[in-house]
Amino acid sequence: MSTASEIYSPGLEGVVAGETAISTVAEGLSYRGYPVPELAEKCSFEEVAFLLLHGELPTARQLAEFNSRIGVARRLPEPLRDLLESLPRWSLPMDVLRTAVSILAHFDQDASDNSHAANVRKAERLLAQIPLAVVDYHRFSQGQQPVPARSDLSTAANFLYMLRGTEASPEDVKALDVSLILYAEHEFNASTFTARVICSTESDLHSSVVGATGALTGRLHGGANEKVMDLLEATGGPEPAEAWLRDALSRKERIMGFGHRVYKTGDVRAGILKTYAQAAARRAGQEKWEETAEIFERIIAEEKNLHPNLDWPAGRLFHAMGLEVPLYTPIFVMSRITGWSAHVIEQLDKNRLIRPRARYIGPERRPVKPLAERRE
């Protein structure tokens, strides 16, 4: 038996659990060395997806070929479409997506091939297929038929087109595109670490993504963006917001969209997306939620020294764009599939089984009593 070091950190806080060349939060978040604010300003989501999956930003030719592969892969197998139509309308979209990824594995000719090249091919296909599964189920659950995907549109533009049946405004497409860039990758967060643990057993990419999707669903992780508007709406608006919030904080309620395990002085991504949330709220005539959000930011900083994370502006932005709340965490998956896949590929390129030790806090060693001697 190998000896376990006695260093123990609840929730693995501060523990370095592996190496990665994909992103770092040191000196501000960067993907493969590029500062994320610069990527959000100068690149499309597809360029960032290529960077994460292939290691470098694409040339114009590489980007055109990548977009063409994604466009061609925008199809769902018929049996999955039929299943999406037959699932209960009250199913949670994240649960549906988890099931959809699992089913997609059965139709992927590379499913059990764990080579680097096959994993990149599978990742590109999932990048194309996940938005379709999200939007097709959403339309079925609303009693509508799916809108066929378009191969000439970006991920953001095609998603909004399939959702609404008409092309979205350039402002909406840009705002969603920037959200996808900001959500794409974040080092060893809970869902990415889940994906790495799963593939470290030499399991496959789809299994890793199914597990990661489950991890992202929780409200302490991706699920937080779906709770933001519930909170803002519960206040009743800017007037009663301060009293409502002080009361919630005095009851030790957790305010979704605030706080972070790693960022203790603020999340640069939240600042970037806030500008888009404010602009979208102005276009939609919904400034009152932005005013309410400002009140939250001020009071939570004062009272708890906590700052917004990316989910805080994302929930507001998606709401101002008229997107329905159960789509918010699935949008996160549409983007994070790139980061998850990059990590699975990196893990498998230099794999070592992830198997930590536990500190035992159970009963002392004791003999097993025969059944007849055990008392109620």
Residues in contact with ligand COA by the rule CB under 6 A = 11, 220-221, 224, 254-261, 304, 306, 309, 311
Residue 30 forms beta bridges with which residues? 24, 35
* Residue whose beta carbon is closest to ligand COA: 259
Minimum CB separation of residue 227 from ligand COA in Å reads 8
Contacts of 170 (CB under 8 A, 6+ apart): none
Order across the sheet with 34-35: list the strands. 23-24, 30-31, 34-35
Minimum CB separation of residue 212 from ligand COA in Å reads 15
**Amino acid identity at 240:** P
To the query of whether residue 311 is one of the catalytic residues in this protein, the response is yes
Minimum CB separation of residue 187 from ligand COA in Å reads 12
Residue 34 forms beta bridges with which residues? 31
Burial of 50 (0-12, 13-18, 19+ CB in 10 A): buried
Residue nearer to ligand COA on the CB measure, 131 or 259? 259
Residue nearer to ligand COA on the CB measure, 76 or 293? 293
Q: How far is Cα 348 from Cα 353, in angstroms, rounded to an integer?
A: 10
Q: Cα angle at 178 between 100 and 191, to 5 degrees? A: 45
Contact 58, 47 (CB under 8 A): yes
Residue nearer to ligand COA on the CB measure, 92 or 301? 301
Which of 186, 221, 260, 319 is labelled catalytic?
Answer: 260
Minimum CB separation of residue 128 from ligand COA in Å reads 26
Residue nearer to ligand COA on the CB measure, 131 or 315? 315
Residue nearer to ligand COA on the CB measure, 66 or 258? 258
Minimum CB separation of residue 261 from ligand COA in Å reads 4
Q: Cα angle at 299 between 297 and 301, to 5 degrees? A: 65
What positions carry a catalytic annotation?
Answer: 260, 311
